[in-house]
Amino acid sequence: MAEILDGLKVSKEIKAEIKVEVDKILESKRRAPHLVAILVGNNGASKAYVNAKVKDCEEVGFQSSLIKFPSTVSESELLEKIDELNKSKAVDGFIVQLPLPDQIDQEKIINAIDPRKDVDGFHPENFGKMALEMDTFLPATPFGILTLLERYNIETKGKDCVIIGRSKIVGRPMSILMGRKDFPGNSTVTLTHSYTKDIEEYTKKADIVITALGDPHFLKGDMVKDGAVIVDVGITRVDDDSPKGYHLAGDVDFDSCAAKASWITPVPGGVGPMTRAMLMKNTIIAYKTSVYND
C-alpha cells in the first residue's frame, strides 16, 4: 500500500516557516508583505479559491487586499488597475484570478503584469527564465509539486517521468522542471496529452506519473507499475447523493493505484494546499527582492 504525500501537512509547515520570517520583518519595524488578488465576476470556484488565499495571508501575517470587478468589466478598466498595482510601492505581488470573461483577452492581462510582481509565475518573461533554469517565480502548482517531492526526498534523478496534460499552468511547466538539472529534476520526461495514443503504454513504464487532466478516476491501477510515485493534480466536483450533493475527485482512481504505488497524493489534501502555500512563498520572495522595498 502506498505511503501518502501529505500536501496538507507540508503546506502547514511551509506557512509556519513563512510566518517566522514575517514576524522577524515586523519586529524590525518594516511593513508586512502585501499580496493583492483581483477577482472578476462571480465564479463559485474562483471566489472560494481567492477567499482561501486571503485566509492564508492572515495565517502567515501578510497584508492582503481583494479587488472585485463585475463580470461586465472592460478590458481597459482591468488594465488600468493592473498598471496601478504595478506602480504601487505598497504592493509586492498580485494575481488576477482566472478564468476571465470572454470580452477580456487573458494573454493581454497576463502580459500587462510586472514580472517582478507576477507571483503566479504566468508572465512570459518568468516562464522563459524558468525554461532557461534562471531564478524566477515558478507557477504555484508545479512549485508545490517540486516542494512536496523534495520534502519527502523522492528520488527523481534518472527516473522516467510521465506528465499527463499539457496546460501552460501545470503540465508544460512541470515537464520542463522535472527535466532540469536540479533536485527534484534530472528525470527523463514524457509529456502526454489528448492526442497521445495508448497513454497506458507510457504510464506503465513510468517511475513517476503526474496527472493534470481534470478527468475523474482516469488513471487506473492497471495503468501504473509497482512502486510508481503518483501525483494527482486533478480536482473535479462529481455529483452524488450526499448532503452536499457532490464530492471532489482526482484524476487518479485512488484505491487501485494506491495498491501498487510507493507514494501517492490524496484528493483533497495533496497538491491543492501546496499550490496555495507556494503562492505565499512567491510573495515573500517578491517582497525580499523587490526594487520598491526600501
Binding residues for NADP(+) are: 165-167, 235
Phi, psi (degrees; rounded to nearest 5) at 249: -125, 145
Rg of the chain over CA atoms, in angstroms?
A: 19
Collect all residues with Cβ–Cβ distance below 8 Å to 141 and sequence separation of at least 6: 169, 170, 212, 233, 271, 274, 275, 278
Quote the Cα angle for 265-59-82, to 5°. Answer: 90
Strand 208-211 with 188-192, pairing = unpaired
Active site residue 118: no
Please state the residue numbers annotated as binding site.
165-167, 235
Give the SS3 label for residue 153. Answer: coil
Active site residue 53: yes
CA-CA distance, 65 to 203, in Å (whole number)? 42
Which of 114, 118, 120, 232 is catalytic? The answer is: 120
Which of 15, 97, 232, 253 is catalytic? The answer is: 97
Residue 44 has, within 13 A of its CA and on its CB side, a CA count of: 1
* Axis-axis angle for helices 140-151, 7-27 (nearest 10): 100
* Axis-axis angle for helices 124-131, 171-178 (nearest 10): 30
Active site residue 215: no
| Position 184, amino acid | P
Which of 6, 15, 53, 114 is catalytic? The answer is: 53
Catalytic residue annotation: 53, 97, 120
